[in-house]
Copies of this chain bind each other. A is one copy, B any other.
């Protein structure tokens, strides 16, 4: 029977269906999902793996009265299809109507904006406690993947939730994968549970007081519905462990799970990307360079917290790195503590991490690394305005966050040559914790020799009366603005500040007699380096203009629009003089 997906406006519309109809529905949803994903890109494996689980969830529970919280929520596409947003999945003209994550701005069925892992159990425990205080009876469900379960907030809350002593349901979606392969002892344990069909003597969930239910085929609707129904309206904590297939139903995704975790548009049959991207890439530049260093020095260790691809560590490169590459799982805190321990032990740790995720280890950066003045190197990726434009993955808060931690040297290179020179310096020195920010946007090169005194600003172009200080990617903007000004007879000094955690006061002192100093910052203005410059020059009559991004959570923004809105185009900068 063919199901008319357009007739599904809410979960109410599937509650009357037979098991057979639900199966047909699932196939229909999967087919449309594959069509959209192959044409549009997105999280392929995670969503294809939970088609049946999501159908079963909405068949058994009564959202939005019952509360379902999806961890990371990159697997919530089918949920969106069943909760009034089907058009965004079946009509190409509406593909972009929805975000890639749960989004309360879209629907009351979505409880939170979520994009970082490991938050669902804590958030759900708050919903459950609020319910208990109100005397409510609704079910509260946290839907979390095996990889996300290893994150600190998830483990803390897994420990806490049973103490509520009331209805609380965790659905553990075990697809045996993180973005890449899983790491951590927990996964050995999950394997043991799967192998024993849930009957292993040792059971970490039972040890924590959960009623434990195992579903061997997590893509089988009947088993899922049975398990969910048995937990519905429980008066205690239940964990349902479902064994699903990541990428289910799409052979290339089942076969290449890491590649098809998230991908751009691709050919459904061959899996080949539809958009060739052969542009030079900072992640490749970084990975090849650090691999050379690792080869030359067995003490150099690269660390990832479950996102090796984010800094170029493909399976092939991981193979080359061997024991000098460590994946701790999605555990930025442990990764940071590990880096501190490695540095103390005489190794040269390099932790590669997305700018949006490094904020998960603020306390470890401060306590484990900075207070101990350990020469651990953090290299962050997708920082700044050219990073990921999703609200939950923004990369432009790192300067404000990390440059204000004492002892941390925050370096922002402006081009590939400076980037690698800074990396060499960071890995070679033994005095400072270092945050090296990978430049954003297209790779740029310079013929100019790199000035390696990174604690001093680099004056790129000597002028007078006006100084434009452009950090990182925005040095190019500063230089373009200078060109425009030169055509008008103004010859500004152009500065590449490079170090954002402290000022080069000797350089700045020269500008006290200038008319105008403009700072350009690829991050939020608040707490950034421009405000430090302004404060330092505050006692001088020089006019200081700080430009950068507004402190706000943008969502799916257009870079050019954001730059213009913040007066960050070369023309706008020039016009300020």
A7 to chain B, nearest CB (A): 31
Are B201 and A204 in contact (CB-based, < 8 A)?
no
Partner of A334, one of B133, B157, B333, B397: B157
Main SS at interface, chain A: helix
Return the chain B residue nearest A366 by Cβ.
B359
Are B189 and A163 in contact (CB-based, < 8 A)?
no
Question: How far apart sit A116 and B67, CA to CA, in the bound complex (Å)?
Answer: 34
Q: Mark A310-330, 1 if CB is under 8 A from B, else 0.
A: 000000000000011010110
Q: Quick one: which of A27-73 are within 8 Å of B by CB?
A: 67
Q: Which residues of B contact A329 (CB under 8 A)?
A: 156, 159-160
Q: Which residues of B contact A333 (CB under 8 A)?
A: 122, 152-153, 156-157
Binds B, one of A17-25, A79-87, A169-177, A540-548: A540-548
A112 at the interface (CB under 8 A from B): yes
Are B188 and A209 in contact (CB-based, < 8 A)?
yes
Q: Which residues of B contact A526 (CB under 8 A)?
A: 403-404, 527, 532
Return the chain B residue nearest A516 by Cβ.
B539
Q: Mark A422-449, 1 if CB is under 8 A from B, else 0.
A: 0000000000000000000000000000
A273 at the interface (CB under 8 A from B): no
Question: How far apart sit A397 and B403, CA to CA, in the bound complex (Å)?
Answer: 12
Are B372 and A104 in contact (CB-based, < 8 A)?
yes
A130 at the interface (CB under 8 A from B): yes
Binds B, one of A179-187, A263-271, A472-480, A559-567: A179-187
Given contacts A153-B333, A160-B338, contact A553 B133 (CB under 8 A): no
Are A538 and B541 in contact (CB-based, < 8 A)?
no
Q: Which residues of B contact A342 (CB under 8 A)?
A: 126-127, 129-130
A524 at the interface (CB under 8 A from B): yes
Q: Which residues of B contact A150 (CB under 8 A)?
A: 156, 159
Size category, A interface: 35 or more
Q: Quick one: which of A335-379 are within 8 Å of B by CB?
A: 336-347, 349, 359-360, 362-364, 366-368, 370-372
A283 at the interface (CB under 8 A from B): no
Q: Quick one: which of A281-334 are within 8 Å of B by CB?
A: 298-299, 301, 323-324, 326, 328-329, 331, 333-334
A331 to chain B, nearest CB (A): 4
Are B341 and A130 in contact (CB-based, < 8 A)?
yes
A226 at the interface (CB under 8 A from B): no
Q: Which residues of B contact A524 (CB under 8 A)?
A: 404, 406
Question: How far apart sit A124 and B385, CA to CA, in the bound complex (Å)?
Answer: 37
Are A345 and B131 in contact (CB-based, < 8 A)?
yes
Partner of A397, one of B125, B203, B207, B366: B366
Question: How far apart sit A99 and B336, CA to CA, in the bound complex (Å)?
Answer: 25
Are B115 and A367 in contact (CB-based, < 8 A)?
yes
A155 at the interface (CB under 8 A from B): yes
Are A163 and B134 in contact (CB-based, < 8 A)?
no
A531 at the interface (CB under 8 A from B): yes
Interface residues of A (CB under 8 A from B): 67, 104, 111-116, 119, 121-134, 150-153, 155-163, 183-186, 188-189, 192, 201-204, 206-210, 298-299, 301, 323-324, 326, 328-329, 331, 333-334, 336-347, 349, 359-360, 362-364, 366-368, 370-372, 391-392, 397, 400-401, 403-407, 524-527, 530-532, 534-535, 537-539, 541, 543-546, 551-553
Instruction: Beyond A119-B367, A160-B334, A201-B202, list 15 extra A-B contacts (CB 8 Å).
Output: A119-B364, A126-B345, A126-B347, A126-B349, A127-B345, A133-B298, A133-B323, A134-B346, A152-B156, A153-B337, A188-B208, A404-B526, A406-B553, A526-B527, A541-B543
Task: Write 19 A-B pairs (CB below 8 A) sorted by A numbering.
Answer: A112-B340, A115-B367, A121-B334, A122-B333, A122-B334, A122-B364, A125-B341, A126-B339, A126-B349, A133-B298, A152-B333, A156-B331, A157-B333, A157-B338, A362-B401, A371-B391, A531-B535, A535-B544, A538-B543
Minimum-distance CB pairs A-B, first 4: A126-B341, A152-B152, A122-B337, A130-B345
